[in-house]
Structure formats: structure tokens, C-alpha cells
């Protein structure tokens, strides 16, 4: 039987469409449809006759159940949970029946106006199965009690309680994560299949089993006892079915007397709607899933004549090369420009074209020959066993697709992205990501891929949180599903409940507020509470990045990666080109100090004009200073270029991958020789990167001759733990806060102190808020990081006391593992806050 229900305004104010709520959780109807009220009054009233299902612990929200089973969420203001109940007075209790217009919650309008993100109050139909909205009264001023929504459908009130036996039974909750959103929804679906009224109760409180929100409000956790009741003609069948469903564990049962094995724990996490991936770009995002499916381009094998197919391939390669060149010429972002340069290099690769032409000569079509040639090269790269080199396969496959599109005339249509979408894909090609409108993407997650791929680099440059290697289960997430992407924790939550969404919104708001305040003061010095000045510098790779770093408040450049000049080209840059580029970087930082790292090439960074023998383990092969000393002409040209540019600013030189004192001496001798040739009056300071455990262990010897130290924590961590930092399977275990790595940093700082040498950190750990107090406590004096992290790092340092940091660092060194160190760091940060 259908019934009509009129919901009246719970507040005096302005009634607006829910989509106008400045919060995607409500605006995108993640919790349900409804309207929003911008209040002018300070009392929340019942919008209809109802039963109070749950008053939130922070007193800012209330859930009601109306006749026919309709569930309503009334949420006063946005991000008001953080007030912890301040400013709210509740006038009802859970389980209480209320009449339309009854006072529910009063609130301090002035207090909320000053401290809440917004006063707008969503009225959301969180459980409206069987109901249809037939009228909305929005876009107007309303008084409490005036209609705002008209609904039809639902179960009639008269039929909500039917006659029949009333049965009950006790059960114990086996769900590992308690009765959260997914199992609650399944229980509700099961209960709705019966005429009987089914209820679940705990501690004297009982709620309808038809309501997922009400079920979640019970707060049932693993092992809790609950009472299930049913009343009606089919009560026995309803009771048995719902009880069996709950007791089955619904795929996430956990033994009551034992902790599940790691594999079982992983299965529980997955079944609860949480996927774990590898962090490619940090951050937090809330949005809806936008699925990107890469359609395979069909090609025919047989060609239509060798001359015709060769001409077609030549035209396609030329068109793609021109397209890439045009995009690179108009690109101002150095990261995107560098990736386009890599693609241009592949497009002009003569071996790739020659292999395709050979296949065309055998009668294959241009498209078939091109695909076969690219796939052959891709397999060769994958077979090297180096994950970071294998990730360059993405660039090859990107080029394959571009050329096939040009050959076949296929139209590449991107996904329809709503603003704030979280992009999901099996894997992404760099061109696909560059082709999307950046402002519409809140984040991205891929089933495959690695954390050092070009897609990961692009995501970081866009400021979009990103996870990779989330596994094949990601492909089952439906388009449009609500998501929380916590890239910092490496987690993607699918279909989060209201509590999780609200907590994530609060975190986002807190982050935004903190980031805004940090940016406002970014130009100032970072001085600890006890008066110690800690320069915060930026890692850069080009002149444009140097200017951006200065604008972000960086005190200088702690790491200029000179590889940007040497990679993705057929010949090395000459001395003049290098000098001009170094001068541009120095000028971009306007007198701030710049540390220029000598060419760190080899290993995963190869250059075609520097042929090297195949290495079984390139990460331990001829790279960094080892390569420079084997090619003295390369070293001398770079040193000459640096000295020629040195008058444009304050620069120093840093040697990569040092493992022996002799390497420092050899480079210093080369620097002095170049200085004599150029008639230099003074020479830049010469320091070493501490990236190998060997360098950390001989830090005292190095400090006697080096002018400064800079710790590269990325490589120091991988060599110290014997774990490849480019390997996705190990990504979660490679942590610079491991006690073993901290011990190497401590040894470096002790060695630096013996020679009164300054020491900095220019690896990823420098931008980790958990690590900053520990690094300073160990003796690090300067930090260098991505430019975007500078403002918040400065703000954090200003709140630290160096003496407390030293005690904290000493305690961190005594911890048994990285988990314990991070737990200690969390405690310290919360105390400092």
C-alpha cells in the first residue's frame, strides 16, 4: 500500500538543493538524496513523526526513523563533529518517539558561525527504499514546520506491525570489524524480504533490522552479544535467515579465540571494502569512482603492400612526433615536459622503427608490425629485472597506442569526469593522465603500476593523491561508488559509512586550514621554539622549478638534480649549455644557496651516449661518482660549467654515491685542476652525499676533508635494508624510520660533528612530518624537500623544541622496528600539538 509523507523544515532558514552543499559527501548524495537548510534559527525540530534512532556522540547530528521505514539524517553544519559537542544541547534520547515539530537539538548559532566550515544543514534520506521524492520546495525562505519534501511509497504504518508469533534468540557477532556499513546493508536487505518486523538489540536498546544506519548505531563489535527478535506471520523464517546471515560472518568472520593469520587478515580487509595499495603520491581525497577502461585497438595482420604500409607507418610516426613536440613546446610544467621528451625519444628511436619496417617487409600491416616491435622491446625491458626500468615500459606502451591511433583513425575518448572524481584503472598511460582536466581529479588508484612510474610522478606534480598496485579487486569497484582515498596510509575505502566520511572530511578541513596558515608564513625563517634556525630548502631539477621553489618560501636549493640535462637525448650537453642552465637555476633562486649534485647517472638512469656493459644488478653497478671517475671528460666538463656559472649565486657541489674517501679526493683534485685552468679565485664548497652504509660508517674520515654532508635517505634506506626502493612488493616495508636507517643517520651526524661540518637531509624523509623531529634530534641541521612541502615543514619546525627532539631521537633509536618508531613519532607529534 502506497502512502504520502510530507517532510517539513526542521529549521528557520533558506531551503536549497542538496547539490549546493559545499561538501561532496552531501552534494553528490553519497549518503542519500534530500535538501539543505541554511539556518537562521537555532533549534532543530522533527520534520515528521518519528523515532529517534541515534543521536551522534558529538551532538551535531541525529538519525530518525519515520513511518514506512524511512530513515532521515539531520546534520547541523559542516565539519561540526570537531566541536566535540560544544555549542549543542540535545533534547531527546535514542529510542524516543517524537511528534512533528518537537525540539530535537538546540545550538549556539554564533559559535557555529565562527568555528564551523558552514552552517548549512543537510536533511538526507539515508534509508528511502520504496520511497520516491515527488515534490521539492527549494530555492526559498522557510519557517520551521513548512513543507520541504513530498514523498510517496514505503510501507504503510498500519502494516508495519503484523500479528503472529514473537520470537527471539541470542547471538554473538563474529564479524572482524563489527557491524559496519557493508554487513549492515546485507542484514537490512535480508530483513526486508520478510513481512515480519525484525529487530536487533543490545544493552536494552533495540533497532529495526531493516535500517542499515540504525544497525550501525548499535556499535556492535567483534564478539559482542546481541538479541535478535522477530514478530509477524513469517517470524520464524525471518529470525532463522537473519541470524544465519550474521553468524556466517558474511565473508569476514574472525575466530573468537584466536588472531587470524596474515592472509586471513588481508581477506577481512578486502571483504570490508578496503583495498591496500602502494603510495605513489601522498594525500587524502573523497569522491566518486570514475572507471577508466583502456579499450584494445584492433589491428589486422596482413598488409596491403610494403610501400603502402611503410608510408603509413612513416606518416603516423611523423604525426605523433609533431604532436609530442607541439605539446612539449607549449608545456610550462617541467615534469610534464620531461615526460614528453622521453616519449619523443622513443618516437625517434631508429631501432624501433627498423624492427617494424622489417616486419612490414614480411607482409605485415603497419599497425601489426608496430605493435609487435613495441611489444618486443617492452618484453626486453621487463626481463632486465629492475622494477624502475620496467616502469618505463608504460612510456613505450603509451607511444604504441598513440601511433596505432594515428594508423587506424580510432578516436580516443576519455572518461566523463565529474568534478572531484577519483580515477580508477587497471593501469594508466602518462598521456591519458596528461590529457585529463587536472582540476576535476581528486585522486587516482591503479590496480597495477609502480611508485616511481611517470604516472606516479605526474600525479605528484598535479597534487593529486595516488595509489598504485592495489590489485585486481580494484577492477570490481563500480563506477560512481563513493570512495575515500587515503594515499598516506595506502588505503582505498569503498562505500565508506557516514562516520568514516565525516572523519575524512574533518581531516581534509584541518589539512586545508593548516596548509593555508603555513603558506601565509612560508617566506619567514624556520626557527625552533628554543631559537635554533633550521634552513628548509627545495629539491629542484630545472630553472622553472627553482623559481617555483623561491615562490614557495624555500631558503635555497639543497639538491639540484643535474640529470635533467643529460637524459632523453642522443648526445651529452656541452659545457656552454650546462653553464647556461646552471646560471638560470642560480638566478631563479635569487641569491639563495644552491647545492649542485654532480651527474648521478647509471643504474636505473641510462643515457644512450654512455654505453655500459649489462649489469646483473644495476643499482650496485657503475653509477654516480663511479661513472664520473671512469669518464673524466664528463666530470671535467660539468665542473667547468659549474665554475663558469658560480658568479650568478651562492653554489656548492655535491658528489653522489660516495663509498670511499678516495672518491672524494679524486673529485676534489679534478675540481682544483679545473679551477686553475679557469683562473678561479675561489672554489665552491665540495660535499658528499651519504647514500651508502659505507659512507655513513666512514663519516668521521669524510668529515676531515668534505665541506658538508647531505644524506640521501631514499638510497640509504634501500642499501641499508637491502630492499629495492622501486619494488612495489616491498614498498610498504621500505621505511627511512627503520631503526637500522636511523642508526646510519646518527653515525653520519656524529662524524659530521667531529669535523664541525653541516649535515642536511635531501631524501624523501625530510618532508615526512613524523621524521622531522627525529632528524633534527639526531643532529641534522638543514632539510631539503619538494617545494610544495616547504611551507608546512617550516610551520612544523617553528613548533618544535630542539632539546625535546634530541630526547625523542634517542628514544627512537632504541625502538625494535619501524612500526614502533612511527608509533612513538605519533605520540610525540600529538604531544607537541
Q: Could you give the CA distance from residue 499 to residue 178 in angstroms, rounded to a whole number?
A: 14
Whether 445 is a known active-site residue: answer no
Find cell 529517534 and name the residue: 52
Q: At what angle do helices 498-520 and 790-798 cross, to 10 degrees?
A: 80
Cβ partners under 8 Å of residue 337, min gap 6: 328, 331
Mapped onto helix, strand or coil, the DSSP state of residue 766 is helix
Q: Could you give the CA distance from residue 470 to residue 693 in angstroms, rounded to a whole number?
A: 32
Q: Could you give the CA distance from residue 797 to residue 808 in angstroms, rounded to a whole number?
A: 14
Q: What are the backbone angles phi and psi of residue 464, rounded to the nearest 5°?
A: -100, 125
In the beta sheet, which residues pair with residue 628? none
In the beta sheet, which residues pair with residue 595? 652
Pick the closest to residue 718 from 452, 343, 485 (CA basis): 452
Q: What are the backbone angles phi and psi of residue 715, rounded to the nearest 5°?
A: -75, -35
**Torsion sign across C-alpha atoms 515, 279, 463, 442:** negative
Q: Which of 48, 762, 805, 808 is catalytic?
A: 762
Cβ partners under 8 Å of residue 408, min gap 6: 297, 298, 299, 367
Query: Which H or E element spans position 591?
Result: none
Q: Could you give the CA distance from residue 654 to residue 106 in angstroms, rounded to a whole number?
A: 64
Q: Could you give the CA distance from residue 323 to residue 195 in angstroms, rounded to a whole number?
A: 65
Q: At what angle do helices 350-361 and 306-329 cross, to 10 degrees?
A: 160
Q: Could you give the CA distance from residue 277 to residue 266 in angstroms, rounded to a whole number?
A: 12
In Å, how far are 175, 628, 639, 651, 706 from 680, measured between CA atoms? 73, 22, 12, 14, 20
Q: What are the backbone angles phi and psi of residue 400, rounded to the nearest 5°?
A: -55, -45
Pick the closest to residue 485 from 547, 535, 541, 421 (CA basis): 421
Whether 454 is a known active-site residue: answer yes
**Torsion sign across C-alpha atoms 395, 400, 404, 410:** negative
Q: Which of 222, 343, 454, 808 is catalytic?
A: 454
Residue 173 is classified by DSSP as -
Pick the closest to residue 152 from 178, 133, 168 (CA basis): 133
Rounded to 10 degrees, the C-alpha dihedral 771/773/777/782 comes to 80
In Å, how far are 155, 600, 622, 657, 752 from 696, measured between CA atoms? 73, 19, 20, 11, 10
Q: Could you give the CA distance from residue 317 to residue 783 in angstroms, rounded to a whole number?
A: 45
Cβ partners under 8 Å of residue 199, min gap 6: 206, 207, 208, 209, 228, 229, 230
Query: Which H or E element spans position 41?
Result: none
Find the radius of gyration of the CA atoms of the chain.
Answer: 31
| One-letter-per-residue 3-state SS of 186-221 | HHHHHHCCCCCEEEEEECCEEEECCCHHHHHHCCCC
Cβ partners under 8 Å of residue 395, min gap 6: 339, 342, 343, 346, 430, 454
Catalytic annotation, residues = 454, 762
Amino acid at each position: 500500500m502506497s502512502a504520502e509523507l510530507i517532510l517539513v523544515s526542521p529549521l528557520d532558514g533558506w531551503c536549497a538543493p542538496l547539490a549546493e552543499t559545499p561538501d561532496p559527501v552531501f552534494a553528490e548524495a553519497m549518503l542519500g538524496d534530500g535538501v539543505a537548510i541554511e539556518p537562521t534559527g537555532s533549534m532543530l525540530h522533527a520534520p515528521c513523526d518519528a523515532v529517534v534512532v541515534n543521536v551522534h556522540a558529538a551532538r551535531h547530528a541525529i538519525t530518525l526513523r519515520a513511518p514506512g521505514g524511512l530513515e532521515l539524517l539531520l546534520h547541523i553544519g559542516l565539519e561540526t563533529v570537531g566541536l566535540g559537542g560544544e555549542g549543542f544541547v540535545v533534547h531527546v534520547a535514542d529510542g524516543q518517539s517524537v511528534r512533528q515539530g518537537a525540539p530535537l537539538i538546540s545550538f549556539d548559532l554564533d559559535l557555529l558561525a565562527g568555528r564551523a566550515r558552514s552552517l548549512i544543514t543537510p536533511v538526507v534520506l539515508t534509508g528511502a527504499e520504496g520511497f520516491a521524492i515527488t515534490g521539492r520546495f527549494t530555492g526559498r525562505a522557510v519557517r520551521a514546520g513548512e513543507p520541504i519534501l513530498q514523498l510517496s511509497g514505503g510501507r504503510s504504518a498500519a502494516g508495519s506491525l503484523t500479528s503472529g508469533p514473537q520470537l527471539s534468540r541470542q547471538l554473538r557477532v563474529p564479524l572482524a570489524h563489527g557491524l559496519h556499513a557493508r554487513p549492515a546493508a546485507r542484514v537490512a536487505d535480508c530483513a526486508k524480504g520478510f513481512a515480519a518486523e525484525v529487530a536487533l538489540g543490545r544493552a536494552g536498546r533495540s533497532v529495526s533490522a531493516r535500517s542499515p544506519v540504525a544497525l550501525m548505531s548499535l556499535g556492535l563489535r567483534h564478539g559482542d552479544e546481541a538479541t535478535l527478535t522477530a514478530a509477524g506471520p513469517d517470524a520464524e523464517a525471518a529470525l532463522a535467515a537473519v541470524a544465519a546471515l550474521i553468524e556466517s560472518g558474511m565473508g569476514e568472520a574472525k575466530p573468537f579465540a584466536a588472531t587470524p593469520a596474515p592472509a586471513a587478515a588481508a581477506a577481512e580487509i578486502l571483504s570490508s571494502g578496503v583495498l591496500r595499495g602502494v603510495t605513489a603520491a601522498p594525500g587524502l581525497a573523497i569522491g566518486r569512482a570514475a572507471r577508466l577502461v583502456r579499450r584494445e585497438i584492433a589491428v589486422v595482420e596482413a598488409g596491403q603492400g610494403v610501400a603502402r604500409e611503410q608510408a603509413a607507418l612513416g606518416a603516423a610516426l611523423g604525426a605523433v612526433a609533431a604532436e609530442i613536440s607541439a605539446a612539449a613546446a607549449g608545456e610550462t610544467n617541467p615534469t610534464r615536459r620531461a615526460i614528453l621528451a622521453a616519449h619523443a625519444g622513443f618516437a625517434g628511436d631508429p631501432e624501433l622503427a627498423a624492427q617494424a619496417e622489417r616486419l612490414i617487409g614480411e607482409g605485415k600491416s603497419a599497425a601489426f608490425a608496430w605493435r609487435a616491435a613495441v611489444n618486443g622491446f617492452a618484453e626486453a625491458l621487463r626481463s632486465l629485472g629492475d622494477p624502475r626500468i620496467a616502469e618505463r615500459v608504460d612510456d613505450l606502451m603509451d607511444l604504441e597506442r598513440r601511433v596505432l591511433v594515428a594508423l587506424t583513425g580510432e578516436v580516443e575518448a576519455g572518461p566523463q569526469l565529474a568534478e572531484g572524481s577519483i580515477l580508477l584503472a587497471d593501469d594508466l598511460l602518462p598521456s591519458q593522465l596528461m590529457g585529463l582536466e587536472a582540476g576535476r581529479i581528486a585522486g587516482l588508484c591503479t590496480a597495477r603500476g609502480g611508485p616511481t612510474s611517470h604516472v606516479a610522478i605526474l600525479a605528484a606534480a598535479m597534487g593529486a593523491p595516488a595509489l598504485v598496485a592495489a590489485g585486481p579487486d580494484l577492477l570490481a569497484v563500480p563506477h560512481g561508488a563513493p570512495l575515500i582515498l587515503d594515499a598516506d596510509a595506502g588505503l582505498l575505502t569503498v562505500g565508506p559509512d557516514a562516520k568514516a566520511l565525516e572523519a575524512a572530511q574533518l581531516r581534509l578541513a584541518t589539512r586545508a586550514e593548516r596548509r593555508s596558515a603555513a603558506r601565509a608564513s612560508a617566506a619567514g625563517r624556520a626557527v625552533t621554539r628554543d631559537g635554533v634556525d633550521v634552513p628548509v630548502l627545495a629539491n629542484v631539477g630545472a630553472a622553472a622549478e627553482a623559481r617555483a621553489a623561491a615562490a614557495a618560501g624555500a631558503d635555497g636549493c639543497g639538491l639540484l638534480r643535474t640529470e635533467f640535462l643529460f637524459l632523453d637525448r642522443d648526445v651529452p650537453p656541452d659545457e656552454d649549455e650546462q653553464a647556461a642552465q646552471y646560471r638560470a637555476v642560480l638566478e631563479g633562486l635569487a641569491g639563495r644557496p644552491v647545492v649542485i649534485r654532480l651527474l648521478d647517472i647509471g643504474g636505473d638512469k641510462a643515457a644512450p651516449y654512455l654505453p655500459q656493459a649489462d649489469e646483473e644488478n644495476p643499482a650496485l653497478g657503475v653509477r654516480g661518482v663511479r661513472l664520473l671517475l671512469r669518464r673524466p671528460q664528463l666530470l671535467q666538463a660539468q665542473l667547468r660549467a659549474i665554475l663558469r656559472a658560480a658568479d650568478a649565486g651562492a653554489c656548492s657541489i655535491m658528489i653522489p654515491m660516495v663509498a670511499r674517501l678516495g672518491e672524494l679526493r679524486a673529485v676534489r683534485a679534478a675540481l682544483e685542476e679545473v679551477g686553475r685552468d679557469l683562473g678561479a679565485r675561489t672554489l665552491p664548497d665540495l660535499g658528499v652525499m651519504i647514500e651508502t652504509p659505507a659512507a655513513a660508517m666512514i663519516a668521521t674520515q669524510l668529515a676531515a676533508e668534505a665541506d658538508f654532508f647531505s644524506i640521501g635517505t631514499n638510497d640509504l634506506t634501500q642499501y641499508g635494508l637491502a630492499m629495492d626502493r622501486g619494488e612495489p612488493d616491498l614498498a610498504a616495508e621500505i621505511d627511512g624510520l627503520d631503526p637500522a636507517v636511523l642508526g646510519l643517520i646518527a653515525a653520519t651526524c656524529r662524524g659530521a660533528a667531529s669535523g664541525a661540518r653541516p649535515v642536511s637531509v635531501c631524501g624523501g624523509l625530510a618532508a615526512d612530518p613524523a621524521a622531522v623531529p627525529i632528524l633534527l634530534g639526531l643532529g641534522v641541521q638543514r632539510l631539503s624537500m619538494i617545494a610544495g612541502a616547504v611551507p608546512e615543514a617550516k610551520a612544523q619546525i617553528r613548533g618544535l623544541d630542539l632539546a625535546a627532539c634530541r630526547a625523542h631521537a634517542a628514544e627512537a633509536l632504541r625502538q625494535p622496528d619501524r612500526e614502533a618508531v612511527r608509533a612513538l613519532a605519533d605520540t610525540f607529534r600529538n604531544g607537541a600539538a
